[in-house]
Amino acid sequence: MSTAIESNLKEKRVFKPTKEFSKAARIQSLAQYREMWEESIERPDKFWGREASELTWQTKWSKVLDWKEPYAQWFVGGKLNVSENCLDRHLLTARKNKAAIIWEGEPGEKRVLTYQQLHREVCRFANVLKRNKIKKGDRVLIYMPMIPEAAVAMLACARIGATHSVVFGGFSADSIRDRITDSKAVMVITTDGGYRRGSIVPLKKNVDDALRDDPQSIKKVIVFRRAGNDVHIEEGRDVWWHREMDYVNAVCPAEPLDSEHPLFILYTSGSTGKPKGILHTTGGYLLQAYATSKYVFDLRDEDVYWCTADIGWVTGHSYVVYGPLACGATSLMYEGAPNWPENDRFWRIIEEYAVTVFYTAPTAIRAFIRWGDQWIKKHDLSSLRLLGSVGEPISPDAWMWYHNVIGGGRCPIVDTWWQTETGAIMITTLPGAIPAKPGSAGLPFFGVDAVIVDDDGKEVGPNVGGKVVIRKPWPSMLRSIYGDKPRYKKTYWSEVKGAYFAGDGAHRDKDGYFLIAGRIDDVLNVAGHRLGTSEIEGALGSHPAVAEAAVVGRPDELKGQGVVAFVVLKGGIAVEPHLREELRQHVGQVIGPIAKPDDIRFAEGLPKTRSGKIMRRLLKEIAGGKAITGDTTTLEDLSIIAKLSSNSD
Ligand code: PRX
């Protein structure tokens, strides 16, 4: 058992919602939550049918769920459009002139787009897509900074039935190329550049590099001018966003799409191979993004809601764009870094826009703690009423700090456990109903049949560790890995019979609360970013000096996990001091800066079992600086261990 989990299990503090908060919340008590949860599990058709009727359907469904494990179809026969649900339907109400997106650029520009204005931009850009021959079902890659046009691009794809695949702006040209090859995307939407900590990230140049050797499937690149940096425009392929917008009008009816029509593909790391394209579809995804935004953030028309995630991650999809806009909420977007120009940028923004609901990640919270409370004390954060956390386990200490220093001791905190694959929040503490326990993700959301099982697939009792599985389909579940159904089945539906295997280890306490320990597969969580060890090993292995590499995580105070690489060089290549940095840069180029190893240790060989498997547990212990425990008699070459542990920086 990890020490983090041990201390979380010992945590005794419980924070009940205040009477005031509960009275105003949609779900007001534990009893109400339990009653609704039971209905959602026993009669999912009734529960989800009722929730779905709050959305706008062009054709009503004939059946709520068709389930043939592992394939689900939700709202069979139903037709709807995500962009219509996020935009058009609000134009019929007083929300028409309400702020849909409040945006601040890193250099300080400010923009507000009302629902009406956002609708207009989306309709026009959807016409630009059509003008550039994008059809329903085409894949469109979006590689943009956090600017309103990123949301416009996503919603415009959704409007005409094109399937978007957003690639995080921190990924490299190689990563873009891999995603284009896998998804067979026909268009890229990008910007000249984006701002990050005062400098300009050359996004268009990365796209050019990705397309250099092989034009692949890409026919068009649309470039939005954001940073004003010089870019190359390839005649016949590249067009400027602003010029294209001049040719179109704002009339673009939302295409009626089948509930199972592919809405987006989002690539994420797994324990083997290259990142997988997680496929999400229309009706079920939108419904759960909507329902969780409504119940977990308890969004109100008066709220100014800010989720700090980038749209390149699933949190940005579900909780910057689709969920809040489907609720008719005001979603705040900020382009840049939290410490630009100074460490109080977030608190300035909260004060200036009177943010009421704030959703961020533990890795950011740990950075805020390190920067010191003085940055926070300078600002009035009294507008906040609810806080959220996502992406990794939050320690009880960080939770308490978040509660006291940011939340002024009055705001409930919703810890939210979910994944790219789950599409929307799965385990949480509904803020008016479920008492929160620091360090614990809480209880399953409606319709979520999550349990913890042992290696034989049997449910374990309280305080016993095991694997997190989900025993019933849920509306926003991934439908497949794009283009690879067998891998979908093998990865998620084979490890534990009859259940979805999440890849996480956890305990439940006596009240059924989930305490998530983290990944139990070869996936790392570095500063809330998901990275596959095999992916980083592949990147290292592509360097001409490297014979073999093994990558493991080690606990890191700030990032949660740090990346440690054990590298065996090719015969005849000496360990030169510059090689460490060169290998780090190489990984940065192949994957992106977030994947650069924190520590590279050169070794003469890697510890392997007699069957040739790398002994990762051992490497983890060495990387974490722990004494080696357990049985090592199957090691091929015991002397390697001693060398590995002493050969660090
Ligand atoms: O290990 C869990 C961790 O993040 C993983 C999913 O990563 P990703 O698909 O990138 O999605 C992140 C945002 C939803 C999970 O397998 N994780 C996510 N949320 C939590 C968490 N671990 C503990 N507590 C959470 N609230």
Task: Give 252's strand partners.
Answer: none
181 CA distance to ligand 1 centroid (A)?
27
DSSP 247: T
Domain ranges of the chain: 114-258, 527-646
* pLDDT at 649 > cutoff 60: no
- Mean pLDDT across 110-124: 98
Res. 607 pLDDT band, cuts 50 70 90: confident
The response to whether residue 269 sits with its C-beta less than 6 Å from ligand 1 reads no
The response to whether residue 310 sits with its C-beta less than 6 Å from ligand 1 reads no
Q: Ligand 1 pocket check: which of 278, 390, 470 to mutate, most ligand atoms within 8 Å of Cβ?
A: 390
Residue 123 token pair: 């309709």
The response to whether residue 533 sits with its C-beta less than 6 Å from ligand 1 reads no
* Ligand 1 atom 10: residue of nearest CA: 530
* pLDDT at 635 > cutoff 50: no
> CA–CA separation, 147 vs 132, rounded Å?
22
Residues 38-62: tens digit of each pLDDT: 999 999 999 999 999 999 999 999 9
Distance of CA 202 to the CA centre of its chain: 23
Q: Ligand 1 pocket check: which of 519, 530, 561 to mutate, most ligand atoms within 8 Å of Cβ?
A: 530
Q: Directed axis angle between helix 173-183 and helix 577-590, to 10°? A: 40
Residue 436 token pair: 């929160």
* pLDDT at 129 > cutoff 90: yes
Residue type, 103: W
Q: For the domain with range 114-258, which CATH number is right: 3.40.50.980, 3.30.460.20, 3.40.50.2000, 1.10.3720.10?
A: 3.40.50.980
The response to whether residue 275 sits with its C-beta less than 6 Å from ligand 1 reads no
Buried/exposed 378-401: b ≥16 CB within 10 Å, e otherwise: eeebebbbbbbbbbbbbbbebbbb
490 CA distance to ligand 1 centroid (A)?
21
The response to whether residue 365 sits with its C-beta less than 6 Å from ligand 1 reads no
For the CA of 518, the nearest atom of ligand 1: 1
Q: Ligand 1 pocket check: which of 8, 418, 428, 508 to mutate, most ligand atoms within 8 Å of Cβ?
A: 418
The response to whether residue 114 sits with its C-beta less than 6 Å from ligand 1 reads no
Q: What are phi and psi of 180, to 5 degrees?
A: -65, -45
* Ligand 1 atom 11: residue of nearest CA: 419
Distance of CA 414 to the CA centre of its chain: 17
Q: Which pLDDT value is given to residue 634?
A: 45
The response to whether residue 418 sits with its C-beta less than 6 Å from ligand 1 reads yes
Residues 71-90: tens digit of each pLDDT: 999 999 999 999 999 999 99
> CA–CA separation, 395 vs 375, rounded Å?
22
Residue type, 320: V
Q: What is the pTM of this model?
A: 0.95
Q: Is 628 exposed, middle or buried (0-12, 13-18, 19+ CB in 10 A)?
A: middle
* pLDDT at 532 > cutoff 70: yes
> CA–CA separation, 202 vs 195, rounded Å?
9
530 CA distance to ligand 1 centroid (A)?
8
The response to whether residue 391 sits with its C-beta less than 6 Å from ligand 1 reads yes
* pLDDT at 145 > cutoff 80: yes
For the CA of 313, the nearest atom of ligand 1: 10
Task: Give 451's strand partners.
Answer: 469
Residue 64 token pair: 């709520």
> CA–CA separation, 129 vs 152, rounded Å?
12
Task: Give 190's strand partners.
Answer: 143, 223
- Mean pLDDT across 187-195: 98
Task: Give 331's strand partners.
Answer: 101, 305
String of DSSP letters for 272-320 = SSSPEEEEEESHHHHHHHHHHHHHHS---TT-EEEE---TTSHHHIIII
Closest CA to 159 of 72, 31, 257, 232: 257
Task: Give 388's strand partners.
Answer: 359, 414
The response to whether residue 419 sits with its C-beta less than 6 Å from ligand 1 reads yes
Q: What is the rounded radius of gyration, in angstroms, for the C-alpha atoms of the chain?
A: 24
Q: Ligand 1 pocket check: which of 314, 429, 467, 504 to mutate, most ligand atoms within 8 Å of Cβ?
A: 504
Q: How many residues in the chain?
A: 649
> CA–CA separation, 373 vs 439, rounded Å?
21
Q: Is the peptide bond before 341 cis (omega within 30 degrees of 0)?
A: yes
Q: What are phi and psi of 281, to 5 degrees?
A: -110, -170
The response to whether residue 503 sits with its C-beta less than 6 Å from ligand 1 reads yes
CA distances from 68 to 134, 489, 493, 629 (A): 33, 12, 12, 44
DSSP 84: I
Q: Ligand 1 pocket check: which of 392, 467, 529, 594 to mutate, most ligand atoms within 8 Å of Cβ?
A: 392
DSSP 318: I
393 CA distance to ligand 1 centroid (A)?
8
Q: Which pLDDT value is given to residue 215?
A: 61
The response to whether residue 441 sits with its C-beta less than 6 Å from ligand 1 reads yes
Q: Is 646 exposed, middle or buried (0-12, 13-18, 19+ CB in 10 A)?
A: exposed
Residue 302 token pair: 């008066």
Task: Return mean pLDDT, the chain.
Answer: 94
* Ligand 1 atom 24: residue of nearest CA: 393
User: What is the H or E stretch that residue 621 is in?
Assistant: helix 616-623
Q: Which pLDDT value is given to residue 616?
A: 87
Task: Give 600's strand partners.
Answer: 565
Q: Does domain 527-646 have CATH number 3.30.300.30?
A: yes
* pLDDT at 101 > cutoff 50: yes
Residue 210 token pair: 């990705």
For the CA of 425, the nearest atom of ligand 1: 14
